Amino acid sequence: MTKKAKKPWPTKDAMNQIYELNLWGGSEFDFYSGSGSHNPDIVNPYLDVLTAFLESHNKNLTVCDLGCGDFNIGKQLTQFTKKYIAIDIVENLIERNKQIHQANNLEFHCLDIAKDELPMSDCIIVRQVLQHLSNAEIKNVVEKLTNYKYIILTEHLPLGDFKPNKDIISGQGIRLKQNSGVNLLEAPFNLKIKTETILGEYNLEQHKGRIVTKLLEMF
């Protein structure tokens, strides 16, 4: 009997390569999730609005972070939650995070958010993650988002008008070069929500777009 060939796992392979080759910068001796997770001009306003949101719920929300990366962001939010569940597709990155970041209310899991069942929580954080995924993978994620009360979504979007949700191959790149970006409320995703609130927006230099954070309250 011949063995069936294993199906390729392009997204996992792509993300592993990004960290192995330091394609988002940083040192060859550690994992680095890019300037968007480390530039204080981007990070500090984001942390301010997230902290305010979590504190407004008396630090009593269980949060699930889809695509936690090197955890430079999450480590500063954990204390404001009842429980923080951090997820990433890169196994070595998760193992590194487990060793460095420890708290009684903190868990790390290696999961593919497009394929695997996600932990239950009150709030989903998905920060500049969907922009790297194909439309098919985003659809799979969107089907799971209806299980949660709050979605805090951050995306890198073009300046001005743009056509949303042009498809890409999952990997390092995003839709910006096609003058596109992810909008879950538009086709082909058509996510149904109760309310949408813009929590923050940061314009990048040299017309490289803007980073927008939205709070989506689900039905």
Given this model, what pLDDT does residue 143 score? 97
10-217 — its CATH code? 3.40.50.150
Given this model, what pLDDT does residue 9 score? 65
Given this model, what pLDDT does residue 28 score? 83
Given this model, what pLDDT does residue 207 score? 78
SS (H, E, C) the chain: CCCCCCCCCHHHHHHHHHHHCCCCCCCCCCCCCCHHHCCHHHHHHHHHHHHHHHHHCCCCCEEEEECCCCCCCHHHCHHHCCEEEEEECCHHHHHHHHHHCCCCCEEEEECCCCCCCCCCCCEEEEECCHHHCCHHHHHHHHHHHCCCCEEEEEEEECCCCCCCCCCCCCCCCCHHHHCCCCCCCCCCCCCCCCEEEEEEEEECCCCCCEEEEEEEECC
pLDDT of the chain along its 219 residues, tens only? 555 554 556 899 999 999 999 999 998 889 999 999 999 999 999 999 999 999 999 999 999 999 999 999 999 999 999 999 999 999 999 999 999 999 999 999 999 999 999 999 999 999 999 999 999 999 999 999 999 999 999 999 999 999 999 999 999 899 999 999 999 999 999 999 999 999 999 999 887 999 999 999 999
Given this model, what pLDDT does residue 213 score? 98
